[in-house]
């Protein structure tokens, strides 16, 4: 399985050199470095032609386009340059502009008649080159404004989506899928974009493709008989292979008769957790507060015991609330469903992404599954099949996502569960301890409790489990609330550009200090991200 080389443009004159070290000898150097005064001197005083290539067959217009000098490109076109000239491999100046995403230079070229669908000897168009170099903004520009075909194959049958998957540019993949680029397209070797992402071990690219796809792509075999998962395993990308294998099993199971396990996985564990909490409450009342073989409960112990029961009931009510409440599903406003589609155009091509509400310059805001432009901290939940604003995580124990609208409820539920299990556990231990008149050793006390008070022992076991789980979760949630960061952002910080500073290190722009973060959460239940962006 081999992949033909993408466009390569390498020259000394295109490298970054300090201004004081630049020595320009000809028009090609002047165009490459954007030195318009020297270019004018060469042309107007020395009579140098701008329609002739250099020794490598490259034209002045290509160099100006590569380095995004629109004023130089405009001058060249006014003084004999031809927007349609091609080099030795039939690449136009627009191809070169696509390499570095030179939108301003491309605008000059296209306004002067450049063909957006021009292809080189490999069948690469500007859309292919943009995908090969991850120039997502450039790709969006030529597709939305000049209606470039974003799903056209090259000579080997590879579309821009194939190239973006091969190079691992997840943002470019999101944009192409947002336009409904065909994931099932096979090249001459029978490979889909998912095959190429698996070949290179591009984890994020594979995840985006799998979540947005029909899952049929997981079973497609190339001309050698390999599925994407098998290719990943063969190349040693075991993590990618595991992701694809799990996705394949989940897809396969959904076509089978739904047994008890599958039904439970669909519903979630919320009914189980509800029954556990309810059963432990009844067990606490029957085996601790009303136990006939315990020492008579004092007024103080009874008060604490019934306080625990009341808190348990409150936690169940809060459990129902956070399980059934909208976690913050993102509405479809700004996406395909609310926009009129022009006749003969794709569903998204009438929308200018960069001028849409909520847009902040992060391509992760595009959801290729829901076909919406979502707020920055949102994420698509594959279980709920919806995008959730300020997505924290999908909790199977409440059978719901935890997001902007129900995170406060979830936190209160955990708090009540922790306090309830702590108080009831202390009351239970006190009651069992005082019920043993003569304590000889720890072993004899445990033996006495297990065999003389089995209900109390069962309650303690369940209570310890709840206390450990709820205590751990609330500690993690409290820490993240103080930092104003979600669980998803903590785990996947490297995937989100808005969590990285100019030096590439982690930087949380939403952290406004512990006091502000906590006060906003406790009062409103969430942080207003618009206030943070406006700072």
Select which of 395, 401, 482, 518 is catalytic.
395
Element (H, E) at 108: helix 103-111
Could you say which DSSP state residue 151 is in? T
C-alpha to C-alpha distance for 353 and 295, rounded to whole angstroms = 71
Distance CA 364, CA 360 (A): 10
Full DSSP string of 474-513: HHHHHHHHHHT--HHHHHTGGG-GGGB-TTSSB--TT---
CA distance 52 to 93: 14
Tell me how far apart the alpha carbons of residues 300 and 18 are, in angstroms, rounded to a whole number. 80
Beta strands in 368-496 (DSSP E): 372-373, 379-381, 386-388, 393-395, 400-402
Asked about 387 being catalytic, the answer comes back as no
Enter the DSSP assignment of 303: H
Given a contact cutoff of 8 angstroms between Cβ atoms, the answer to whether 135 and 18 are in contact is no
Give whole-number Cα distances, 412 to 327, 367, 480, in Å. 15, 31, 15
Q: 153: Cβ–Cβ under 8 A, 6 or more apart, which residues?
A: 123, 159, 185, 187
Phi first, then psi: give them for residue 118, nearest 5 degrees: -60, 140
CA distance 65 to 79: 16
SS3 381: strand
- The whole-angstrom separation of Cα 119 and Cα 158 is 13
Report the catalytic residues. 395
């Amino acid at each position: 399985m081999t992949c033909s080389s993408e466009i390569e443009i390498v020259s000394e004159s295109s490298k970054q050199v300090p201004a004081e070290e630049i020595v320009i000898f000809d028009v090609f150097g002047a165009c490459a470095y954007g030195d318009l005064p020297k270019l004018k001197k060469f042309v107007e005083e020395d009579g140098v032609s701008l329609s002739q290539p250099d020794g490598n067959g490259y034209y002045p217009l290509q160099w100006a386009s590569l380095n995004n000098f629109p004023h130089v490109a405009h001058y060249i076109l006014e003084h004999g340059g031809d927007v349609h000239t091609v080099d030795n491999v039939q690449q136009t100046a627009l191809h070169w502009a696509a390499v570095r995403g030179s939108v301003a230079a491309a605008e000059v070229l296209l306004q002067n008649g450049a063909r957006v669908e021009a292809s080189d000897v490999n069948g690469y168009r500007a859309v292919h080159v943009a995908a090969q170099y991850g120039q997502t903004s450039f790709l969006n520009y030529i597709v939305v404004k000049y209606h470039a075909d974003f799903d056209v194959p090259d000579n080997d049958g590879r579309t821009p989506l194939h190239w973006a998957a091969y190079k691992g540019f997840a943002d470019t993949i999101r944009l192409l899928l947002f336009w409904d680029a065909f994931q099932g397209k096979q090249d001459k070797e029978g490979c889909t974009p998912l095959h190429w992402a698996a070949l290179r071990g591009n984890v994020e690219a594979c995840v985006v493709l799998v979540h947005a796809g029909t899952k049929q792509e997981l079973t497609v075999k190339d001309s050698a008989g390999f599925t994407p998962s098998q290719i990943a395993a063969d190349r040693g990308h075991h993590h990618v292979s595991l992701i694809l294998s799990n996705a394949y099993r989940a897809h396969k199971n959904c076509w089978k008769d739904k047994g008890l396990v599958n039904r439970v996985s669909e519903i979630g564990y919320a009914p189980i957790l509800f029954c556990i909490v309810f059963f432990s409450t009844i067990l606490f009342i029957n085996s601790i507060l009303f136990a006939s073989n315990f020492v008579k409960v004092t007024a103080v112990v009874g008060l604490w015991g019934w306080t625990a029961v009341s808190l348990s009931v409150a936690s169940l009510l809060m459990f129902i609330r956070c399980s059934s409440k909208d976690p913050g599903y993102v509405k479809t406003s700004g996406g395909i469903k609310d926009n009129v589609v022009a006749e003969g155009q794709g569903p998204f091509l009438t929308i200018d992404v960069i001028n849409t509400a909520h847009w902040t310059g992060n391509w992760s805001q595009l959801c290729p599954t829901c076909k919406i432009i979502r707020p920055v901290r949102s994420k698509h939940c594959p279980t709920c099949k919806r995008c959730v604003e300020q997505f924290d995580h999908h909790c199977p124990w409440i059978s719901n996502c935890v997001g902007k609208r129900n995170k406060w409820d979830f936190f209160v539920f955990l708090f009540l569960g922790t306090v309830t299990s702590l108080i009831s556990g202390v009351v239970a231990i006190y009651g069992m301890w005082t019920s043993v008149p003569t304590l000889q050793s720890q072993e004899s006390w445990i033996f006495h409790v297990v065999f003389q008070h089995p209900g109390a022992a069962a309650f303690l076991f369940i209570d310890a489990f709840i206390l450990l789980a709820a205590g751990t979760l609330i500690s993690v949630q409290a820490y993240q609330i103080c930092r104003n960061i979600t669980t998803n952002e903590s785990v996947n910080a490297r995937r989100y550009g808005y969590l990285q500073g100019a030096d590439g290190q982690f930087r949380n722009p939403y952290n406004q200090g512990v006091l502000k973060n906590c006060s906003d959460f406790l009062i409103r239940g969430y942080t207003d991200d618009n206030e943070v962006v406006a700072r």
